[in-house]
Structure 1
Amino acid sequence: MVGQTNLLDKLKELARNLWWCWQANAIDLFRELDPILWREVDHNPVEFLQRLPADQLEKRAAEMALDSRIDSAFRRLSEYLKDADSWGSIHATILRARPVAYFSAEFGLHESLPIYSGGLGVLAGDHLKSASDLGIPLIGVGLLYNQGYFRQSLDANGWQQESYLNTDVEKLPIEPAVAADGSPLRVAVETTNGTLHAKVWRVEVGRTTLLLLDANVPENNESDRQLTARLYGGDARTRIRQELLLGVGGVRAIRAFGIRPSVLHLNEGHSAFAVLEKIRELMEETGLPFGEVLRDVAQMTVFTTHTPVAAGHDRFPPQLVEEHLGRIREALNLSYDDFMGLGRVYPHDLNELFTMTVLALKLSRYANGVSALHGVVSRRMWHPLYANLPEENVPIGHITNGVHVQTWIAPQVARLFNRHLGIDWAKRQRYAETWTAIDKVDDGELNETQQILKARLIHFVRSRLAAQAKKRGEPDATVERFANVLDQNTLTIGFARRFATYKRAGLVLQDIDRMVDIIRNAEKPIQFVFAGKAHPEDRMGKELIQYIVKNAWDSRFRNNIVFVEDYDMNVARHLVQGVDVWLNNPRRPQEASGTSGEKAVLNGALNFSILDGWWAEAYDGANGFAIGHGTTHASIQVQDERDHASLLEVLTTKVVPTFYDRDAEGLPRKWLAMQKHAFRTLAWKFNADRMVMDYVKRSYLPAAGGVACL
């Protein structure tokens, strides 16, 4: 029994560091101990081990000969944490003593830690993981949402319903953070009408640490205890208090944790108050005036904007800002008007709201969009802030987003890469030459791998749809039908993202009568898998979901269009790994990046996209398919009509014929050649390792006082 206790201790330690979630062998360990329980707990190893009886652990470990594998995984984690031979140990040594502090309102690390809503959070999670893999000294700062983002279900009319579940912190891979003096880490943020308090939790993400602030503490009144209950919930007052806690409270948490960062990285404008707190802290420390300290703090601040849509930037009325930042304003020795001017494009326009993005741009010296096109859009959007400069000289550059490869790649594809690219390909993923060997992969082997992944997706979708139908109280015949939707040999197109209207989820179904003939073609049919959530207050987004769902339930489409409820990282993982084509048709140029398509590429799916975001700089005519020609029209209606026409033309004349063009062996040779070309031209460039290295070279090192390695 002593041996099994030791195994349990090792499994618990594995579960407490999220390193396991991008290690296929570690994931397999938990799954093989009890596959049914693993699904029941939504792949949460902490809760899994709490519910797994000790005798069952002992029995399964013996039956499956897991002892040595558990020892191996535990040893690999220990070696990973101690490994000093990393890219960062050579190229980012200046950050070792004073690391990067990375602020984000959400972090998407794994579905078992539900403190994310979508792309922004998953990008932040991928950033932390790659910083860990590269050995970049970095600490994340966020909020612990007790209810997370909402859980989505559909009613009998296909209308989105939201529900919120309280998360039991005892079942999360977190532990209370401890201050430098060994006491429990707490922070307090003063406002003009009271003080906000927060407990700080600690999450280990490989070699990086994430601090999460939690307002659900006895020192707060009931209203303030709910501040960190929901992600992106509540009114402007709730939002500004959340952002005050994230920014000001976050800087104070880092200080109490015993870290003096050399770089502040603001992932979107939500955390811009952090810079004000850092200025206040250094003014108190040095005795220097605001202007001089601002110069130094701005030099150490990096700001990434993700929002090319004007309505997506947080704006607050002056009275709300003064109520919450009045104490800090006084500590900064700024007048009311001067302070409000920091958040305005036109400082003396009393009718202009206080904008967090404006504050972040004014208080940082390194600003970037998240794709080349988004950089152009951002310079145009914020040119009035720099009216004395030509638009092209506005100091907002770009670092194109990438995705964490080991998180998103299917194990079957990883094994294929191990065989043909070399066992250490993941460490060399950022080099173009790593991917040249992909051409030598046998077409049959690649095709077989894709078929395995598609079968896995179909099984997942059928199970989810049948469960959804049961939950709605559908008849047994309907449940049975859902359990048999989709076909292994049919071209499968995936579309999954936030259902904001500019992303145009319904564009492909705009001419529904024509789509009947295209989708139900007897020789070359198509099937669509949709998923995604609309914000609870976004009625138009909900109507888009309902439109798609009603078509999915239409007898003409019911086996060829499906909508999977409750989109999260688990659903996303199955979709990007199993579809043949990834569809993305935002209204250009409103997609900042669109990283879901990058995840699909890693698993062999071909992108079929508007030339926006990352695809505008990735598409070369042979590594996927483009909708339109990269132009826009002044009329939204005209643009939508043109894009719809182009989408159908490319779908019917290029995508479908290429997929169904089979040789005597039944292999789609042209399609497989495009897949290989996509791997070779895209995988090395659009990964998070390359992205984080770009941040180090272009932003972190110069911000920390090191040498920029451009």
Structure 2
Amino acid sequence: MNETIKRETPNHFSLPRRINRLGQLAYNLWWVWNPEGQQLFRQIRPRLWDELEHNPVAFLKKVERSYLNAAANDTYYLDMYDRVMKKFDDYLNGEDTWFKQQYPHLLNQQIAYFSFEFGLHESLPVYAGGLGILAGDHLKEASDLGLPLVGVGFIYNQGYFTQVITEDGWQETHTKHLVLEDAPIALLKDDEGNPITISVELPGRNVFARIWEVRVGRVSLFLLDSNLPVNSDADRQLTARLYSNDLEVRISQEILLGMGGVRALRRLGYQPQVWHMNEGHSAFLAVERALELVRKGKTFAEAAAEVRKTNVFTTHTPVPAGNDQFPLWLVDKYFSQIWPELGLTRDQFVDLGRQATPWGESFCMPVLALKLSEHANAVSELHGQVSRRMWHFLWPERAVEDVPIRHITNGVHTGTWLARRLRLLFDRYLGADWMKRIDDPQLWSQVENIPDGELWAVRQHLKRKLILYINDRARQRWQSGQYHPAQALASGVFLEPYSLTIGFARRFATYKRGGLILRDYDRLMRLVTNPDMPVQIIFAGKAHPADEPGKLLIQQVYRAVKDSRMGGRLVFLEDYDMNMARYLVQGVDVWLNNPRRPNEASGTSGMKAALNGVLNLSVMDGWWREGFNGLNGWAIGEDADPVDPNQQDEMDARSLYEQLEKDIIPLYYTNRSVDNIPTAWIARIKEAIRTLAPQFSTRRMVKEYLSEMYLACMEETEQETA
């Protein structure tokens, strides 16, 4: 980075000298995936830690001095503090990272990773769902491996939205403002103490943005923020919230992210050799990079060829309508000054993103990314097949199977999603260094050595923890005085710790079929209310504010939840976020996933569940098609191309009920040992962890990105500079 950039950790706190480095730890999200780091804050005042959504910056600002003094005089706490801070220092200063050991000659290279959202932790709500969570996990794994990677995105001071479910089940959306000064982020300033800014040209004006930094272990994430007095009121809102439906706002955001993101990295002194676009939102970075080269004297053809060699594009959307595209009049308005400078005609520029649609031609962001990227991938094997068919029109001279879009299946960051109790269990039975060998299948064969009783005790603990969390939420809502009694009951107060519990938590888009299990209502009721083998189902998830069918689906589920005949064994948890997700993927017994195949590009929630010994019951779509082996969970329906949607729904619902009735429920409740341990169920848990934990980790995923995509870009640059 440039020497003129100040990267000071803010010091808002007046901490006792003995524990004053808590302030430094608060501003590095390393604590997110190191439970002992979180314990340093929690131990001081647990209730306040939970009330402030586990935000260490807000916590250290608000906690009373008496609690800090007590911690500073507690021998046990100080021993833990010293141990954690040493581990933190060793991590940041470690010279033995995997990347350094494997590629010491590439340590001077840089990888830039662009994403519209980053899901790192609930205290930094700048994510909407799976795309952002994946991006956050990517950064954490890059840090663990020692990759020279930086992230670029937006800081949304109004985030996505807060969900409230009314008494009749309708989703209402509320705005929750993020107080940036209370978040674990730091504003970058120059030598004179002024915020570092960049600007982009929009029709009739320049829009300026300042840059915030989030430290994610060894990795930096830079977030752009247009909320500056120099901008108009409308432009100040460009980085206010995620996924606007206003196309002018959306194209302005994507210009700011793509073109402005490149300028931010240049301003900070970065010269990346790899430019990774996580989905098409940031594809204008390719236009900005081409502009840089044209301004240095190259033709557009030469510039595009050079840019293409070092661009990486990951597509996540298996449905054409789900990709960002803009009407051509909007492209005319926002880029009429750009194409002449590139030496292109209007049609030549539009050709970079042109796609035919039923309503006419549009400018499609993934098309732009694909045309200007040498390296492109889908996020599961089946999604790769779908993507090659979907984008075949860009390579009409090739056979579909030869379309240059490979697949790298998603993974999840083990440290973030693994329950602390299970981590301790793995420490005992997998070996002290198991976290360094997460992607080694041989390591995970040792799961068989864990005594059934110990593993079952941890699983039961995690379910009790989930139910206590749900009960506490319901109590808080009831005490607010704003909830009807039926809403309190729908929030899970009747949940039992020893009944088979199924989790369904995800975005409520219609293709995910959140109501599939309701299709035969009477049959479901018999399953749920069986006094000998009862079933509990926990639903959670948000619909996009503009998705009326998605909101109707939530209402359908919620009305079933409120049905007194279900006995309170159906539950809907409102305002799904990363904190709730951790409780669910760790605490339920079965993870249900039933999208309409092949619309689930990958999915990652089931991977998180499997890591924690939760068994998947899923359609053969996305990642589960690769993960299921017949013994590590259950499949809904067939591994076959879809039929008529209504017929497919009927067939999949029938398969879902049969799996529950004939296999899953009896397996959970019968074949118990004298100690009341379901031995056959435990055998499936061990098989799920053994087979799925290494294959669907970000350790494997990021290494694949490096070997299959990043290295080619880096070596291309090495050859040019040799």
Taking structure 2 as the reference length, the TM-score comes to: 0.95
SS in structure 1 of the partner of residue 536 of structure 2: strand
Cα contact 2:167–2:487 (8 A) shared by 1:
no
The match for 2:540 is 531
Cα contact 2:356–2:362 (8 A) shared by 1:
no
What's the offset of the Cα at 1:266? 0.1
The match for 2:350 is 340
In structure 2, C-alpha distance between the alignment counterparts of 1:471 and 1:329, rounded to whole Å = 57
Residue among 584, 587, 591 paired with 1:578: 587
What letter corresponds to residue 409 of structure 1 in structure 2? L
What letter corresponds to residue 308 of structure 1 in structure 2? P
What's the offset of the Cα at 1:98? 2.9
Cα contact 1:104–1:267 (8 A) shared by 2:
yes
Residue among 705, 709, 715 paired with 1:705: 715
SS in structure 1 of the partner of residue 461 of structure 2: helix
The match for 2:307 is 297
What's the offset of the Cα at 1:89? 0.7
Indicate yes or no: 2:281 matched with 1:270: yes
SS in structure 2 of the partner of residue 173 of structure 1: coil
Indicate yes or no: 2:636 matched with 1:627: yes
In structure 2, C-alpha distance between the alignment counterparts of 1:3 and 1:72, rounded to whole Å = 22
What letter corresponds to residue 286 of structure 2 in structure 1? V
What's the offset of the Cα at 1:514? 1.4
In structure 2, C-alpha distance between the alignment counterparts of 1:270 and 1:60, rounded to whole Å = 46
Residue among 45, 55, 79 paired with 2:90: 79
SS in structure 1 of the partner of residue 215 of structure 2: strand
In structure 2, C-alpha distance between the alignment counterparts of 1:434 and 1:184, rounded to whole Å = 48
The match for 1:473 is 482
Once the two structures are superposed, residues 646-701 of structure 1 have per-residue CA deviations (whole angstroms, 9 ceiling, x without a partner) of 11111111111111122332111111001111111111110011100000000000
Structure 1 residues 154-169: aligned runs within 5 Å: 154-169=165-180
The match for 1:202 is 213
The match for 1:233 is 244
**Structure 2: tracts of 5 or more residues without a match:** 1-12
Residue among 351, 363, 385 paired with 1:354: 363
Cα contact 2:474–2:493 (8 A) shared by 1:
no
Q: How many residues align?
A: 705
SS in structure 2 of the partner of residue 604 of structure 1: coil
Structure 1 residues 36 and 363 mapped into 2: Cα distance closer, same or farther (>3 Å)? same
The match for 2:10 is none
In structure 2, C-alpha distance between the alignment counterparts of 1:327 and 1:211, rounded to whole Å = 28
Structure 1 residues 581 and 212 mapped into 2: Cα distance closer, same or farther (>3 Å)? same
The match for 2:691 is 681
**Structure 1: tracts of 5 or more residues without a match:** none
Structure 1 residues 561-572: aligned runs within 5 Å: 561-572=570-581
The match for 1:132 is 143
Structure 1 residues 38-437: aligned runs within 5 Å: 38-63=49-74, 65-93=76-104, 95-178=106-189, 184-285=195-296, 287-345=297-355, 351-437=360-446
SS in structure 2 of the partner of residue 152 of structure 1: strand
Q: Kindly, what percent of the aligned residue pairs are identical?
A: 48
In structure 2, C-alpha distance between the alignment counterparts of 1:484 and 1:394, rounded to whole Å = 52
Question: Which stretch of structure 1 is more off in the superposition, 427-436 or 176-185?
Answer: 176-185
Cα contact 1:10–1:70 (8 A) shared by 2:
no
In structure 1, C-alpha distance between the alignment counterparts of 2:311 and 2:484, rounded to whole Å = 58
What's the offset of the Cα at 1:195? 1.1
SS in structure 1 of the partner of residue 592 of structure 2: strand
SS in structure 1 of the partner of residue 89 of structure 2: helix
Question: Which stretch of structure 1 is more off in the superposition, 312-321 or 656-665?
Answer: 656-665
Question: Which stretch of structure 1 is more off in the superposition, 525-534 or 81-90?
Answer: 81-90
Cα contact 1:402–1:686 (8 A) shared by 2:
yes
Once the two structures are superposed, residues 66-114 of structure 1 have per-residue CA deviations (whole angstroms, 9 ceiling, x without a partner) of 1232222222222111112011113344543231000000000000001
In structure 1, C-alpha distance between the alignment counterparts of 2:276 and 2:191, rounded to whole Å = 22
What's the offset of the Cα at 1:3? 11
What's the offset of the Cα at 1:400? 0.3
Cα contact 1:470–1:479 (8 A) shared by 2:
no
In structure 1, C-alpha distance between the alignment counterparts of 2:485 and 2:705, rounded to whole Å = 54
Structure 1 residues 70 and 634 mapped into 2: Cα distance closer, same or farther (>3 Å)? same
SS in structure 2 of the partner of residue 126 of structure 1: helix
Question: Which stretch of structure 1 is more off in the superposition, 72-81 or 138-147?
Answer: 72-81
The match for 2:645 is 636
Structure 1 residues 19-30: aligned runs within 5 Å: 19-30=30-41
Cα contact 2:529–2:567 (8 A) shared by 1:
no
In structure 2, C-alpha distance between the alignment counterparts of 1:280 and 1:682, rounded to whole Å = 44
Structure 1 residues 295 and 383 mapped into 2: Cα distance closer, same or farther (>3 Å)? same
Indicate yes or no: 2:468 matched with 1:459: yes
The match for 2:510 is 501
Taking only aligned residues, the RMSD between alpha carbons, in angstroms, comes to 2.0
SS in structure 2 of the partner of residue 621 of structure 1: coil
What's the offset of the Cα at 1:55? 2.4
In structure 1, C-alpha distance between the alignment counterparts of 2:211 and 2:273, rounded to whole Å = 21
Indicate yes or no: 2:603 matched with 1:594: yes
Cα contact 2:463–2:497 (8 A) shared by 1:
yes
Indicate yes or no: 2:447 matched with 1:450: no
Question: Which stretch of structure 1 is more off in the superposition, 379-388 or 329-338?
Answer: 329-338
Cα contact 2:158–2:177 (8 A) shared by 1:
yes
SS in structure 1 of the partner of residue 684 of structure 2: helix
SS in structure 2 of the partner of residue 66 of structure 1: helix
The match for 1:607 is 616
What letter corresponds to residue 515 of structure 1 in structure 2? L
In structure 1, C-alpha distance between the alignment counterparts of 2:191 and 2:153, rounded to whole Å = 19
In structure 2, C-alpha distance between the alignment counterparts of 1:140 and 1:446, rounded to whole Å = 38
What's the offset of the Cα at 1:181? 10
Once the two structures are superposed, residues 211-235 of structure 1 have per-residue CA deviations (whole angstroms, 9 ceiling, x without a partner) of 0000101111000001111111241
What's the offset of the Cα at 1:62? 2.5
Once the two structures are superposed, residues 316-340 of structure 1 have per-residue CA deviations (whole angstroms, 9 ceiling, x without a partner) of 0112122222333232111111000
Cα contact 1:303–1:361 (8 A) shared by 2:
yes
What's the offset of the Cα at 1:707? 11
Cα contact 1:95–1:262 (8 A) shared by 2:
no
What letter corresponds to residue 89 of structure 1 in structure 2? K
Structure 1 residues 60 and 528 mapped into 2: Cα distance closer, same or farther (>3 Å)? same
Once the two structures are superposed, residues 352-386 of structure 1 have per-residue CA deviations (whole angstroms, 9 ceiling, x without a partner) of 10000100000001000000010000001111111
What's the offset of the Cα at 1:346? 6.2
Once the two structures are superposed, residues 186-210 of structure 1 have per-residue CA deviations (whole angstroms, 9 ceiling, x without a partner) of 1110123211111111111000000
What letter corresponds to residue 368 of structure 1 in structure 2? N
Structure 1 residues 674 and 6 mapped into 2: Cα distance closer, same or farther (>3 Å)? same
Cα contact 1:98–1:259 (8 A) shared by 2:
no
What letter corresponds to residue 448 of structure 2 in structure 1? D
Question: Which stretch of structure 1 is more off in the superposition, 9-18 or 76-85?
Answer: 76-85
In structure 1, C-alpha distance between the alignment counterparts of 2:372 and 2:490, rounded to whole Å = 57
